[in-house]
Amino acid sequence: MTSVDRRTLLRTGTVVGAGLAITPVVGAAAAAPDRSPAYIASGRPNLSHGVQSGDATASSAIVWGRADRPGRLIVEYGTRPDLRDAHRVRGPWLTPQSDLTGRVRLRGLASGRRIHYRVRVEGEHGAAGEAVTGSLVTAPSERARAAVRFVWSGDTVGQGWGSNPDIGGMTIFEEMRRLRPDFFLHSGDTVYSDGPLTESVTLPDGRIWRNVVTPEKSKVAETLPEYRGQFAYNLLDRNYRAFTAEVAQVNQWDDHEVRNNWFPGQILDDARYGEKRVDVLAARAKQAFREWVPIGDDRVYRKLSYGRHLDVFVLDMRTYKDPNDDNRYADPKRGLLGERQRRWLIEGLAQSRATWKVIAADLPLGLVVPDGPTNLEGVAQGDPGAPLGRELEFAQVLGSARRCGVRGIVFLTADVHYTAAHHYDPSRAAFKDFDPFWEFVSGPLNAGAFGPNALDATFGPRAEFVHAPPRANYSPLEGFQHFGEIDIDGPTGNLTVRLRDARSTVLWTKTLVPTR
């Protein structure tokens, strides 16, 4: 491994802006720049990890940046690529308390337009460093029957597979960028805080996979700086930075932002961790997530609307999760969502007038996801009978939606590291009180590929398509990396889903027609 001195890295500007080349192996500088007074005084502040945007609505969006030393975030934005019509916003002062990260909410934006922006950091005396540009697409107005295209996936840099300089890094993000989606839905496991990287991995066929490695990615994350370093790592990859500079994100989290299969109150039995209290680890991980991810709300679960045809209900299936057990209880107060979020989802679906109500779930509904020999991680547990355990709250959601006449529900998810299309129908189900719907699964994004998982028959699922590897933990070099694309036609409202691989090849497609 070739290491890079921290001061040298920052002085030469190796990691500045989207689309620039990065040194194949990077030391701690990307996540923890030198903040000594002598170094801070040596030049103007610059952005260290490119730019990001997120949670774009019809009139607003979040723009994010991180400085290499303290300074004020400045954002200029407009509808012209040359920004001759630019408005200027003075954002927050970036300090070590927020890991030098900050975000600005742009307001009063034109709906359904590409917004161009320019970000820089001003020092204490007003001197600004080099600007980095980006763009995003705002949502259509509430009544507009406009076309919407977005991509989704999950599970980034897991199972020991990091950014590989030999193959150009995480090129799946470049494939998604080329489709020019309106936004990207990241369905969780945005980082793998419990997945350390090594310099190289030998594949079964003898080939060598090489990783860019940082100190923070060399062990499981426990401290706040280590959790911050998980997010900083992804932004070292030039494909990832180019993607985030052009595509607004909608992020949710799952388990690996903290630790595999965690739930509130858990005490770890894992020798890798000195801190055994998951609640302590989760608080640190959540702070890093909010600092490094361009999310608009303090609450992870939220609704985002995209014109007349699309409402996206982003779930948080982790913060309020009950303990993992055999998942066969009859207590309706337990579950993944918690009472408040469950009520929010039921009421939101009933009130939505969008053609399609996409439920962005960080865990699949009908797939059995084990957590050890007897415990279950997800909603389903393999019992094909009436709803039990966490299935009870989704029976309540689906039953309430049917009784309120809700149409156009589609579930999108990731988590299981393969891609699939599942159709749910009460005619095949033990539980009958719902209307048919689809669940589409995608992933991973530069992580180990697994699957397929068994389907639970309680809600009558049928696998219409599955693309999974023949053995566990296929490397990205061996294939079975995936993302999905949703394309909604403006005039008709028809929704077309395409399940794609890492080269953007369409593996399976289906067009859904609105129910009148």
**114 and 159 assigned to the same domain:** no
Question: Which amino acid appears at position 191 of this protein?
Answer: V
* CATH code for the domain of 88: 2.60.40.380
User: What kind and span of H or E run contains 287?
Assistant: helix 278-292
* Residue 124 located in a structural domain: yes
Contact 243, 177 (CB under 8 A): yes
The alpha helices in 276-431, defined as continuous H runs, are 278-292, 339-351, 391-403
> How many of the other CB atoms lie within 10 Å of CB of 329?
15
Q: How far apart are CA 96 and CA 119, in angstroms?
A: 19
**Full-model pTM:** 0.91
Phi, psi at 71, each rounded to 5°: 175, 180
Question: Among 103, 62, 63, 108, which residue's Cα sits nearest to residue 85?
Answer: 108
Q: How far apart are CA 12 and CA 43, in angstroms?
A: 12
**92 and 118 assigned to the same domain:** yes
**117 and 240 assigned to the same domain:** no
Q: Which residues share a beta bridge with 488?
A: 148, 495
Q: How far apart are CA 443 and CA 142, in angstroms?
A: 30
* Residue 415 located in a structural domain: yes
Two tokens, residue 495: 């929704």
Unique residue bearing structure tokens 């389907």 = 455
Task: Write the Ramachandran bin of 265: left for phi over 0, alpha for psi from -120 to 50, otherwise beta.
Answer: left
Given 89, 106, 137, the domain boundary residue is 137
Residues composing the chain: 516
* Residue 99 located in a structural domain: yes
The pLDDT of residue 470 is 96
The three-point CA angle 72-177-474 to 5° equals 110
Given 137, 159, 190, the domain boundary residue is 137
Question: Among 105, 38, 99, which residue's Cα sits nearest to residue 67?
Answer: 99
Query: For the CA atoms of 444, 448, 454, 458, what is the dihedral angle to 10 degrees?
Result: -40
Strands 375-376 and 302-306: unpaired
* CATH code for the domain of 472: 3.60.21.70
Helices and strands counted in the chain (H then E): 8, 24
Q: How far apart are CA 455 and CA 120, in angstroms?
A: 49
* Residue 1 located in a structural domain: no
* Residue 142 located in a structural domain: no
**187 and 267 assigned to the same domain:** yes
Two tokens, residue 387: 């709803």
The three-point CA angle 163-168-173 to 5° equals 70
**107 and 218 assigned to the same domain:** no
Which pLDDT tens digit goes with each residue over 263-317?
999 999 999 999 999 999 999 999 999 999 999 888 999 999 999 999 999 999 9
Phi, psi at 178, each rounded to 5°: -65, -20
Give me the half-sphere count of Cα atoms (radius 13 Å) on the Cβ side of residue 75: 26
The pLDDT of residue 463 is 98
* Residue 247 located in a structural domain: yes
**204 and 73 assigned to the same domain:** no
In Å, the largest CA–CA distance within the chain is 71
Given 75, 107, 137, the domain boundary residue is 137
**328 and 423 assigned to the same domain:** yes
* Residue 241 located in a structural domain: yes
Mark the ranges of the chain whose per-residue pLDDT is less than 70.
1-42
**94 and 222 assigned to the same domain:** no
* Residue 264 located in a structural domain: yes
Q: How far apart are CA 355 and CA 98, in angstroms?
A: 40
The total number of structural domains in the chain stands at 2
For 489, the domain range is: 148-512
